[in-house]
Amino acid sequence: MDETVLCYLIKNDSYLMLKRNKKKNDMNENKYIGVGGHIEPKESIYDACKREVKEETGYEVNSLKYHGKVLFKNNDFEEMMYLFTSNDFSGTEIICGEGELIWIPINQVEKLNLWEGDKIFLPKLRTNEEINIKLIYDNDKFIGWEKL
């Protein structure tokens, strides 16, 4: 099973969202997601998150808030995503090779082209409710969710 990190940077009541529009054959094509990626062998989820944020945004994360995990299941594909937010970062934003980085007001995020399941956990990031859920898809169509 793939293990990944997903981070939502926060500034001025906005999330930094990545509109995935630069990679070919991208399962996230034209969707808005947080920034993140795969965890390297022997890398902690915190170190992976800091590295991925730096690679995709140019920002250096000083501290992270862990919110929980989401098991993403789409047919035979499974991915465990560890969710973070951070409002403690510095540096200069770079151009991302995977898509367009856009600051979106938090109260507007759910109107974007998101994975349907993201609409289950995104509100929980704002309430600090622990997230431990499984999102179930069939050929990219959202079927439902359950607690882990």
Class of domain 2-147: alpha beta
Asked whether residue 29 carries a pLDDT value surpassing 80, the answer given is no
| pTM to 2 decimal places | 0.94
Q: How does pLDDT run across 67-120, given as a tens digit for each residue?
A: 999 999 999 999 999 999 999 999 999 999 889 999 999 999 999 999 999 999
pLDDT value of position 21: 79
The domain segmentation of the chain, as residue ranges, is 2-147
Distance (Å, whole) CA 45 – CA 57: 18
Question: Which residues make Cβ contacts (< 8 Å) with residue 59, sequence separation at least 6?
Answer: 9, 53, 89, 90, 91, 93
pLDDT value of position 26: 63
Which residues face 134 on adjacent strands?
71, 146
pLDDT value of position 23: 67
**Residue with the two structure tokens 């169509």:** 141
pLDDT value of position 22: 75
Strands 131-138 and 60-74: parallel
Instruction: Please say whether the beta carbons of 51 and 61 come within 8 A.
Output: no
Asked whether residue 39 carries a pLDDT value surpassing 80, the answer given is yes
Count of Cβ atoms closer than 10 Å to residue 11 Cβ = 12
